[in-house]
Structure 1
């Protein structure tokens, strides 16, 4: 059970805690404890050493066992503590705006234009030609036949990139009804033309004589600016069974299978 305190007891207790005299007040007055540490921005109480100390330096008295001595100054009001001259403004550094002319949006990077090929169908085969009329892909099902020769085309195939050791070879041979057009001719190393490529054509001819279906796809590889392919990539299907071989267009090409 709490023991009622007289006004004198309360005043003495207040003086012990704060070092200040308690003025006479009405019973409804709220007692306010004194804390010398305040936040300078809003005047709220803080823990020791975490705000501004508003008591008189050297004061505060000595809290020995019997009481206190000395005195404290009243704390500054929150308005005084928040004066602009007493509060350091935060330095905000403004970053330099990026040069938008050097920014490339993600997904919008400049890409080289994709070359589109012109498609030509001749003698049942489909040829894809680039802007220089070079054959880039030939495909179709082999048929039997003997096309006429294009002697002029075979002599000039490859132009200035043609080598003295080259033949005017056919991507699709005359015996399979390969067209005589220039796009079906290319500067082909003579050893390659008369060696491994001829052996491959013999394999196709045997399959045709046996009544089998032979489908082909031929893709030459070119170095930039050259009209002479450095390789010929051939894929073929005999009755649906797929095989693929890549031939270098060089004299060093060995006989197929060795």
Structure 2
């Protein structure tokens, strides 16, 4: 592997691909598609659907590989993540060990720069290839577009954070708007709902897109029920939300 291209593919909609991303896909010798088990087979199939819509280079190989699973039972979270990332880098190296596969590409949900570990994992390859990043539409952009709202108030900052941080530390100080990612526990439930409005979305840009918004006190029960039903139906869920505090 001489070069590794990390291609942001947006939130699953082929229309989210930039022209730069399409050129990079067709310029790769090999494209690796991770499989995360039968419960998340849809994620691999979505990548294949995207490729089928834009890949026209007959010389480009497409290879599936099994993505290692993080040991959630490890009490040392950081050590567990380090071991997991080492295993993923090894899986990449094995899957890419094919004749002629000098330029290898990975399709990354959203953008490789935002709450994604692909860039960090790439540094664990030995030898480390040249890494090229193709930016993609993020779930944050897709959420704001789905609700047709601006992310920030005039001249005001906003915070991008995680569900764990929201749950442990509350609404971020110094701003009235926060975007919450990686929240499997719906941590907005931990906040006093008075004066809080939520804009929520799941499967953004996909055929089964779900959105809801309103005062947290009113919208939270709907979102919890919708989210639980969707996760049970698909076996996985990708969701994100914006919280805005009045006053």
TM-score (norm: length of structure 2): 0.21
Give the greater-gyration-radius structure (CA): 1
Q: Please, what TM-score do these two structures have when normalized by structure 1?
A: 0.21
